[in-house]
Amino acid sequence: MPIIIKNIKKKYLQETTGLKIESLTDSQKLESPVLVVNRLIFDSNIIGPELTHTEIDQLLYVIKGNGIAKVNNEEFSLKKESILWLETGEKYQFISGGIGLEILQGYAPASMKEDIKKI
């Protein structure tokens, strides 16, 4: 059954100098936590934190801007409409370019992955 997810109130999961992470879905309000979607908003010339998601794969889509994704010490150029797939355990970091960088991040929570394995 299709679901339209509306995010009426902006909820920032993290706000630091030059970086905001906005939650676009609130899995607590859905009947099941099937998808987490966040917007990562980098001001220009920001080096983001180095991260590793140990239990999930994720899809990242560049909404606007430019920059670099460092994945396991390899650099990938990012520009508007770039798509980046990260597998479980990959270490990654974003560096925004001179016009900033905005990324849509989507992943299924680890708990959902376990439910899918049972099917």
How confident is the model over 33-50, as pLDDT tens digits? 567 889 999 999 999 999
15-28 pLDDT per residue, tens: 788 999 888 776 55
Distance CA 89, CA 61 (A): 19
Question: 60: closest CA among 114, 1, 104?
Answer: 104
73-104 pLDDT per residue, tens: 999 999 999 999 999 999 999 999 999 999 99
Q: What are phi and psi of 42, to 5 degrees?
A: -105, 130
Q: Residue 3's pLDDT is what? A: 65
Judge whether 43 and 98 are in contact, CB under 8 Å.
Answer: no
**Three-state secondary-structure class, residue 113:** helix
In this model, does residue 118 exceed pLDDT 80? no
Could you give the angle at the alpha carbon of 45 between the alpha carbons of 79 and 70, nearest 5°? 60
| Confidence at 113, pLDDT banded by 50, 70, 90 | very low
Domains and CATH numbers, the chain: 11-118 (2.60.120.10)
Per-residue DSSP letter, 49: P
Q: Give Cα 59 to chain centroid, integer Å.
A: 7
Q: Give Cα 116 to chain centroid, integer Å.
A: 21
